[in-house]
């Protein structure tokens, strides 16, 4: 059990060491990237919503034919 607790300790120690090496974005960069992500997500949602609407209309028309 001592070996397992040592490996857990080593894991967390290594993880925190790696986190210190990370270059964190500035506040301005974080806000800009968040806005870009939100705008992109809205466009993707709009695209798939329109695609769903078009397929729904097409499917309804196809069913009405029979």
CA gap 63, 38 in Å, rounded? 37
Q: What pLDDT, on the 0 to 100 scale, is given for residue 66?
A: 81
Q: What pLDDT, on the 0 to 100 scale, is given for residue 13?
A: 94
pTM of the full predicted structure? 0.63
Q: What pLDDT, on the 0 to 100 scale, is given for residue 15?
A: 95
Q: Which residue has the tokens 């301005």?
A: 28
Question: Domain residues of the chain, as ranges?
Answer: 24-66
- pLDDT per position in the chain (66 positions), as tens? 566 778 899 999 999 999 999 999 999 999 999 999 999 999 999 999 999 999 999 999 989 888
């Amino acid at each position: 059990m001592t070996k397992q607790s040592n490996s857990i300790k080593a894991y967390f120690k290594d993880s925190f060491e790696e986190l210190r090496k990370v270059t964190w974005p500035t506040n301005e960069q974080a806000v800009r990237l968040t806005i870009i992500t939100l705008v992109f997500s809205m466009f993707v949602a709009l695209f798939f919503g329109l695609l769903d609407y078009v397929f729904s209309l097409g499917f309804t028309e196809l069913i009405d034919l029979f």
